[in-house]
Amino acid sequence: MAPVALGQGAPLLSMRIDSDQLTLTSAQQVGQFARLTYTISYPK
């Protein structure tokens, strides 16, 4: 896992997503990093 900050441009997501809306669905080691995949639970 490596943090990335985007300083400019169009938002990748149209709304704020809090950690309680994320569920980890897979984790893979890629060299010295981890590729984490999440599903998003949208509010009803």
Domains in the chain: boundaries: 19-44
Judge contact between 31 and 23, C-beta under 8 A.
no
| pLDDT tens track for 11-26 | 777 778 888 999 999 9
| pTM as predicted | 0.64
Burial class (CB in 10 A: 0-12, 13-18, 19+), 10: exposed
Matching residue, tokens 């590729």:
35
CA distance 36 to 24: 7
Percent with pLDDT over 70 in the chain:
100
Judge contact between 41 and 25, C-beta under 8 A.
no
pLDDT of residue 10: 80
pLDDT average, residue stretch 27-33: 93
Token pair listed for 39? 């599903």
